[in-house]
Amino acid sequence: MNPEIDALARLDAADREIARLEAEFKDRELLHRKLEEAKKAAELVLVKAEAAVVANKKAQSDRNVSLHRWADRRRSAVRALETAAGDPSAAERQLSACDAAIADDENAVLDLMLEMDARVAAVAESNKGVHDATEAVGKARDGFPAFRNVNLTAKAKAVSQRTSARSDLPRELLSKYDLLSTKGFSATTIVSDACRACNASVAPQMQADIRSGRLETCRGCGRFLLSS
């Protein structure tokens, strides 16, 4: 095999491995950020759920205060009727007004109590959400040192392979390679008689030349064509 092509293939493989490992590292960082965000969102849901329970308790307490007030008024109306003190029709009106208000407050308290069940269930669910999100963050954090170690070790190996491949390439070829690398990977392969990178067709004669060990570049994008 042409040693230049061999070195080029090794350089391309090392560059792709480095890019893959760097992307993997970024993805991992992104995952950590997403998990932290999910945890914050879950905590916010819990805060809202707890606030809804507090609001429900306050509403129940307000209704109960109102209920007692109406009950007091009702008692005084009943007393007025029993003792025939004052205007009896006014006392009757007050009595029915009190009954209506009491019924209203009692219904409201019942509704709030029913609602409270749902509110309490929501708090329990939110607590579980926070617990799960916290666990996911912890797991990711715990696993990070090992991941980082594997990733960085693999990258160091690929970087050393890159250095070795570069030292095996003549300077001119290397300059061309580096110039091409500003637009992505500098080498590519042929798939279905076409350049994998730009899809320009590669003539059968050129493919035969490549197979026999000649270094060729794509007519479309200029990348080095390696046999796959």
Length of the chain in residues, anyone?
Answer: 228
Smallest distance from Zn ion to CB 156, Å: 31
Task: Give min distance, CB of 203 to Zn ion, in A.
Answer: 13
Among 195, 206, 210, 226, binds Zn ion (CB under 5 A): 195
93 vs 211, beta carbon nearer Zn ion = 211
Give the footprint of Zn ion on residues 200-219 (CB under 5 A). Answer: 200, 218
Q: What is the dihedral of CA 119, 122, 128, 133, to 10 degrees?
A: -120
Q: Does 194 bind Zn ion (CB under 5 A)?
A: no
Residue 135 in tokens: 């666990």
Per DSSP bridges, beta strands 194-195 and 187-191 are: antiparallel
Nearest to 56 by CA among 104, 113, 103, 106: 113
Residues 87-126 that bind Zn ion (CB under 5 A): none
**CA nearest neighbour of 45 among 137, 135, 127:** 127
Amino acid present at 155? K
Q: Does 8 bind Zn ion (CB under 5 A)?
A: no
Report the alpha-carbon distance of residue 175 to residue 9 in Å, rounded.
16
The reply on whether position 190 binds Zn ion by CB under 5 A is no
Tokens, residue 54: 């507090």
Nearest to Zn ion of 136, 194 (CB atom)? 194
With contacts defined by CB under 5 A, name the span among 80-88, 122-130, 173-181, 195-203 that binds Zn ion.
Answer: 195-203
Q: Minimal distance in Å, beta carbon 184 to Zn ion?
A: 11
Measured from the CB atom, is 119 or 223 closer to Zn ion?
223
What is the nearest approach in angstroms of Zn ion to the Cβ of residue 140? 40
**C-beta atoms surrounding 224 within 10 Å:** 24
18: CB partners within 8 A, 6+ apart: 155, 158, 159, 162
Nearest CA among 184, 190, 183 for reference residue 210: 190
Pick between residue 176 and residue 220 the one whose CB is nearest to Zn ion.
220
Nearer to Zn ion, 80 or 226 (CB): 226
Question: Is the C-alpha dihedral spanning 49, 53, 55, 59 positive or negative?
Answer: positive
Q: Is 7 one of the binding residues for Zn ion (CB under 5 A)?
A: no
Work out how close the CB of 221 gets to Zn ion at its nearest, in angstroms, rounded to a whole number.
3
Member of 41, 71, 121, 198 binding Zn ion (CB under 5 A): 198
Name the residue nearer to Zn ion (CB basis): 106 or 209. 209
Question: By the 8 A CB rule, do 49 and 123 touch?
Answer: yes
Helix, strand or coil for residue 190?
strand
Minimum distance, C-beta of residue 183 to Zn ion, in the bound complex (Å): 11
| Contact positions vs Zn ion (CB under 5 A) | 195, 197-198, 200, 218, 220-221
